Each structure stands twice: as C-alpha cells, then as structure tokens.
Amino acid sequence: MSADPFAKLNAAQRAAATFGHRDGNGPWQSAPLLVIAGAGTGKTTTLAHRVAHLCLNGVSPDRILLLTFTRLAAREMSQRSQQTVAAAHKAQQGNERIGAPSFIDWAGTFHAIGARLLRHYHQAIGLEESFSVLDRGDAADMLDVERQALGYHKSRDRFPQKSTCLDIYSRTVNAQCSLETTLASSFPHFAQWHDELKALFAAYVDRKIQQQALDYDDLLLYWYYLVEDQRIAADIGSHFDHILVDEYQDTNRLQADIIRRLRPSGAGLTVVGDDAQSIYGFRAADVENILDFPDHYPGAEVLKLEDNYRSTQEILDTSNTLMSEASRSYQKALRAARGGGHRPQLVTVEDEQEEAQYLCEQILERREQGVRLWHQAVLFRNSRHTLRLEVELGKRDIPYVKYGGLKFMEAAHVKDVLSVLNWADNPRNALAAFRVLQLLDGIGPATARKACDQLEAQHGDFASLSAVAGIPLGTRPAWTATQALMTALRDAPWPGQLEQVLRWYQPHLERRYDHAFPREGDLEQLLQLANDYSSRRSFLTELTLDPPSASGDLSGAPHIDEDYLVLSTVHSAKGQEWDTVYVQHFSDGSFPNEFAAGDDKKLEEERRLAYVALTRAKNKLVLVNPFKYFVVQQAKFGDRHVYGTKSRFLTDPVLATLEQGHWSSQARDANGWRQDLRVDLKQRARAMWS
DNA sequence: ACTAATGTCCTTTTT
DNA sequence: GGACATTAGT
C-alpha cells in the first residue's frame, strides 16, 4: 500500500477527495460538497483525486461531468485523475491498465459542454445541428448590423459602441436580470437608451436565430432553456452520477441555475473554488454563488483547504494581510507548508521605460541564479502596459510568450479564412458570407446581400450563386472560382479542404495586405492546428471556444522546447504558478484599475485580483511601481504623463510586510541630475571644425 | 455600387 | 495610435 496515491494528500485534501459513501456495490454517492480551496492549496490535485476516487469506487468515467474554467484545466484534470487511477490499480492489483486517451470524456468549459449538448439535443430546442458559434468579434459585428439598420449609430447623443452593446447584452443574459438592472448597476451613463437597446437586442436575437448562429452567451442560455424543461433536465442529468465544478467562484447566475436544474437535490454535486479569487464580476460572475452554496443545497458539506504548498510564508503574509482588509468572505488564512524566504519587494522606478529595463535586468539576474525563464512571469492588469517591456525584451533577445489579450484569431486574414469554412459549414451564416464575398474586388454590401438572399431561397445550395445577377465583368472569374470552392467544400475531406481555401485565398491575401508574408505564416499555423481536429465543425467550434491564447507567434516565436518568459494578464494567470513573479505597474490606476474607483463592489474585485497576482509566486515576488506613466488619450499634444499614486491596497500593514526600494538605470549626481543626461561641450564644439 | 481617404472618439480583464 | 463613421471620388 506504500504506492497508494492517496497517501500523498493531507487530511483535509483526503477528506475532500473521498467525501461520501458507498452502498454495497453501487456507485459512490455523496451529499452536495463545497470545497473552499485557497490559493496554492492543491486544489487541482484534490479534485483530480476525487475524480479518481469516484472511478475506483464504482463510478464509470463517462458518467462524470467535469466543468472547468478553461480547456487546459479540463485536460490537465482528466489526465491527472487517470494517472491516479492507474497508480492505484497498480498498487492494488499489479499492472492493470485502464482508460482511453480522454479519460473523462465529459470534461470542459461550460461553453464547450453547452455546445456539445446543444448539438446533441438540437431537435428538442429547434436548432439546426449545423449551427455556427460566434466569437466575441462576430457577435459584435452582427449586433452592429442591427444597430445601423435601426439608425442608432448616428444619434446625436452617444449611443454605445457595438462592443459595449454586446457587454450590456451579455451581462444581462448571464446575470439573468432585467435590462434596467444591468443599466442601473453597470452602465448608468447609458440608461437613457433603455428602449433603443431593448429593440436592438430583440433584433439581434431574431437575426441570430435566422442565421443559426449562437454567441457565447447563447451556449449557456439555450442550455438553460433546454433544462428548464424538467423532463429534458432529468434526461441529461441521468447521464451523470457526479457533477464537479471547478472555479465555482467565477460562475454566473445562468451557470449556477443550469447546475441546479441538472442536480436539484445536489446529490453527487461537488463544487470547488475560492471566494477570495473571484475576478470575473465584469462577466457577471457572482461570488454569492459560492458564498450561498450551503443555503441553496441544504445538507451541503463545506470543507476548507488552507495549507499552502506553493509560496513562502513571507509571500503569504503579504497576501493574507491584503485580503484581511476585504469585506465579506469565508474566513481563512493560508499557512505555508514550506520554509521561509525573503520578503516580497516593492520597487519604485522613474517611468515605464525604466520599469522595462529594471524587469529585464532582474529577469536575467534571476536566470543567472539558476531560475529558468520558464519559471518566471511578468503579470499585468492591462496588456497595453507591456509594449515597452516587449520592445526591451526584444532588444535583449529574451524569448517570451504573451498570454491574454489577443489576437491570432482576430487577425483579419485568419478571420477571412475561417469565414469561408464557417460559411461552408452553415450556409445561413450570412455574417461569414458577407465577409467572404466582400473579399472579391467589385463586390460590396449590396451584391453580397443579393447573394445571401439567393442562397436562402435555394436552401443553401452554393451552385445557385452562379445565378446572381449584376456581377461586374471583371469580377466574374473570381466569382465563379468562389462558387466552385464553396460547392467543393461541401464534401471535401478534412483538413484537405483548408488547403483548398488557402489556395483560393492566396491572391486575395496578396492584393489586400502590404506585408503578406508574416500573414502567410499565420495561415500556415492554422493549417497545423487543423490537423488536430477530426472535422471541420469541431475545428471551428472548438477553436472559437478555446482560441490559441498565446500570441508570441507573431514576432520571433520561441519554440516549445526553448526557454521562454511568460507575460500574462492576471486573469489568464489564474491557476498557475511560477518561481518568480513580477507584477507590473502596481499603482493606483492599475491596481485597482481607475475604472473601479468609487464602486465598492468593483474595488473589492480589484483587491481579489491583486491577491491572485501575489499568490502566483512561489519564492520571489516583486511589485514594480513607476512614478509616472503615459496616458495615451490624445497623442496630439505630445507625451502626456501622469504621476502615479501609490496603490491604495498598499496600506501600512501591507507595507510592513514588504521590502521597499528604488531603482534607477542611471547614476545621479548630488543634485539628483541623471549623469547620462549631459552635453559634452568640448567634443561638440570641436566636432564642427575637425 | 464600390473604394479610398479623411475625420472623430475612445481605451480592462475573457468564455 | 487604432477602430469606426462619414465623405469624396471613380
């Protein structure tokens, strides 16, 4: 029994992993369980062991639904539970091998699982199985079409931008509240537009259904509609003995409601999370979900994990102090299971340029000390702030990968190509159709409209495109080629059809973009990605739900096996850890974001965000605070900078846990003048005459 | 009907 | 310095 994988768990972890009981030979049963897992307390390990424990006790892996926050987390969790199961079997019975490549088949994000269920139950809810999934940009574009059709775009008073409209819509849907409530709570300055927005959203909803296109929110909303019917809910629910939800603190009302419909009594339901790490309020995540869990599920057990295996006590001291000043939460304090280290540093620098230099030097120095770049990370609140750092890293040849922010999937040429595939997959997807057709020289909105109408009338038969009238003579060949391509894509094998699309696209690429070459590289990558998917549809759906998140690709992309530094938003850093963490721009304006000022609820979320940032570090933590930074509002008047103020989270008790310092790249003379800023008079005066 | 060019506004975090 | 709206030109 020495190889028992559960022996590695501490008492609290083991209690969580094995909570419940078993009657005879039936599957493992359990009352609703809430696990409050502080940062670094082995949450993933515990959850993976729980899954493994279930599988070892009569629960079939395909009767487990595992809902995670990212796809990566789903994969990791599934793999680790499989390993645990395998290890346990080995310990007990020698050498038994069990399990398929994807051990927990039903593991994924809410959105991905939603998409899958909706494809399966499409008839029950009146959808085509071929429905498209819109990413954020697509959804905003579609909303914009309606916005223009209704004439709101030229109103004198400012009507919200398309992406703001989408935010308002999305928040309302996800929080399952009225438009009034959303406007009052989050967008008071747009409250005057209530009626117009309502009309806009109604048109948007109609249009989406007409085109059989679902945005991210629809994947949850329609899933919710599906399980609103008790019989369907029971049918879906009966496929699973256990439902486990990770990062429960970041679920929204809609997600919590879906879970409740699937598991009304809470039997076999396990949710894991940390209320101190709830950072998705802007996406309508509701901390109350986790705080009120015991009220919603009577008889629920609450277990806490408080032993932190990640960070030094000094880092935890700072983090704990920061959090102790928050308002409502499950009371807990993290205890370091590890030995001590150094106090975290708060370093002030002159400006952003100096910040970039300082970071580079620290990073290189740390590497000299034996910490690979891979174990270091720079975290930031706002991806704009990394520009200077990226330049500096480039100058010094420090490879890095940037997470969060953007952008591969948003690049115009990538969208062009994906639109072709999307259109082929769902001929009613007029958004994709418009994009594709307008690539052709001589085709604008009017002709594209005609083509879409024609297609609709002929039930999506692409051959009918040849009957569209009014194609300019010069455009005819391209038009015919496009029509031929679309027809051919219907039955072409995957991923070969992507190659066809790329061949077709090549001339358009060269014509439309000055620097076609780097873009070709992106398309090459797309082709590589395509190999990992079994069909066009799964490629399209999964890629929009889980776009490649790192965008070091565009410039000097480091290869997987190389050592590289990680740049990441704090949001994308959730669940990760590094030996050394630098937090950029730790001053008021970023931590907390200026946007949150004056709203206590938002400020609390900013505090939790700061907490997430701090608790990513294992051994070394550096907060950098530039004195002045640029405001890029109006570049007209030249460089505009603002003097940053100390973060309001750095109260005296917090400061007491930090080591404070100042850093400058340049030595200064007695008057504080930078010694590098000096005119060499003699040299200048002579230069003219020599 | 379409394209190119000029003018104006706004900036967070992401499935 | 980018996205988006409007305008003038082909």
User: At residue A457, does pLDDT exceed 50?
Assistant: yes
Instruction: Classify A34 as helix, strand or coil.
Output: strand
Q: Which nucleotide in the DNA or RNA is closest to residue A387, CA to C1'?
A: C1
Cβ of residue A635 near strand C, that is under 7 Å? yes
The model's confidence at residue A632, banded by pLDDT at 50, 70 and 90, is: very low
pLDDT tens profile A280-309: 998 999 989 999 999 999 999 999 999 999
Bases of strand B lying below 7 A from some protein CB: 1-3, 9-15
Interatomic CA distance for residues A372 and A469, integer angstroms: 63
Structure tokens, A309: 């295996």
Instruction: Classify A258 as helix, strand or coil.
Output: helix
Selected residue with higher pLDDT from A513 and A119: A119
Cβ of residue A185 near strand B, that is under 7 Å? no
Structure tokens, A588: 């008021």
Selected residue with higher pLDDT from A598 and A182: A182
Percentage of residues of chain A with pLDDT beyond 90: 52
Nearest to A264 by CA among A225, A221, A233: A233
CA–CA distances in Å: residue A252 to residues A110, A178, A220, A284 = 11, 15, 10, 6
Cβ of residue A474 near strand B, that is under 7 Å? no
Q: A643 forms bridges with which residues in the sheet?
A: A628
- Burial environment of residue A365 by CB neighbours within 10 A (0 to 12, 13 to 18, 19 or more): exposed
Interatomic CA distance for residues A506 and A516, integer angstroms: 9
pLDDT value of position A387: 82
Cβ of residue A404 near strand B, that is under 7 Å? yes
pLDDT tens profile A601-625: 888 899 999 999 999 999 999 999 9
Q: A307 forms bridges with which residues in the sheet?
A: A335
CA/C1' separation A220–B15 (Å): 10
A651 contacts: CB under 8 Å, gap ≥ 6? A325
Interatomic CA distance for residues A359 and A377, integer angstroms: 10
Cβ of residue A140 near strand C, that is under 7 Å? yes
Q: What is the reported pTM?
A: 0.89
Q: Which nucleotide in the DNA or RNA is closest to residue A151, CA to C1'?
A: C5
pLDDT tens profile A532-582: 899 999 999 998 888 876 543 333 344 555 788 999 899 989 889 999 999
pLDDT tens profile A9-63: 999 999 999 999 999 889 999 999 999 999 999 999 999 999 999 999 999 999 9
Cβ of residue A70 near strand B, that is under 7 Å? yes
pLDDT value of position A673: 62
Structure tokens, A687: 């230069």
Residues 494-533 of A with CB under 7 A from strand B: none
CA/C1' separation A155–B1 (Å): 26
Q: Which nucleotide in the DNA or RNA is closest to residue A605, CA to C1'?
A: B13
CA/C1' separation A53–B1 (Å): 67
Asked if A500 and A481 count as a contact pair (C-beta separation under 8 A), the reply is no
Interatomic CA distance for residues A282 and A285, integer angstroms: 7
Give me the torsion for CA of A8, A12, A18, A19, rounded to 10°. Answer: 180
CA/C1' separation A511–B3 (Å): 14
In sequence order, what DSSP letters do the residues of A498-563 get, joined into one string?
Answer: HHHHHHHHHHHHHHH-S-HHHHHHHHHHHHHHHTT-SSHHHHHHHHHHS---B--TTTTPPPTTS-
End-to-end, the C-alpha distance of chain A in Å comes to 87
pLDDT value of position A310: 94
pLDDT value of position A255: 96
Q: Which nucleotide in the DNA or RNA is closest to residue A153, CA to C1'?
A: C5
Cβ of residue A162 near strand C, that is under 7 Å? yes
CA/C1' separation A635–B4 (Å): 25
Nearest to A9 by CA among A87, A105, A79, A98: A87
Interatomic CA distance for residues A424 and A426, integer angstroms: 6
Q: Which nucleotide in the DNA or RNA is closest to residue A471, CA to C1'?
A: B1
pLDDT value of position A557: 46
| Other Cβ atoms within 10 Å of A70 Cβ, number | 18
pLDDT value of position A445: 84
The H or E element containing residue A628 is strand A617-630
**Amino acid found at A656:** A
CA/C1' separation A154–C7 (Å): 15
Q: Which nucleotide in the DNA or RNA is closest to residue A215, CA to C1'?
A: B15
Percentage of residues of chain A with pLDDT beyond 70: 90
A502-535 as b/e: b if 16+ CB within 10 A: bebbeebbeeeeeebeebbebbeebeebbeebee
pLDDT value of position A560: 52
Cβ of residue A406 near strand C, that is under 7 Å? no
CA/C1' separation A154–B9 (Å): 13
Interatomic CA distance for residues A641 and A632, integer angstroms: 8
Cβ of residue A634 near strand B, that is under 7 Å? yes
Measure CA A410 to chain center.
Answer: 14
CA/C1' separation A152–C6 (Å): 15
CA/C1' separation A413–B1 (Å): 25
Contacts 24+ apart (CB under 8 A), A365-369: A366/A580, A366/A620
Cβ of residue A641 near strand C, that is under 7 Å? no
Cβ of residue A438 near strand B, that is under 7 Å? yes
Cβ of residue A149 near strand C, that is under 7 Å? no
Measure CA A665 to chain center.
Answer: 35
Cβ of residue A632 near strand C, that is under 7 Å? yes
pLDDT tens profile A205-250: 999 999 999 999 999 999 999 999 999 999 999 999 999 999 999 9
For residue A379, which phi and psi values (nearest 5 degrees)?
-105, 145
Structure tokens, A233: 């809910």
Q: H helices of A212-239, where? A: 216-228, 230-237
Cβ of residue A109 near strand B, that is under 7 Å? yes
Instruction: Classify A57 as helix, strand or coil.
Output: coil
Pairing label, strands A617-630, A641-643: antiparallel
Asked if A389 and A567 count as a contact pair (C-beta separation under 8 A), the reply is yes
The model's confidence at residue A368, banded by pLDDT at 50, 70 and 90, is: very high
Closest residue, by C-alpha, to the C1' of B11:
A633
Bases of strand C lying below 7 A from some protein CB: 1, 4-6
Instruction: Classify A269 as helix, strand or coil.
Output: strand
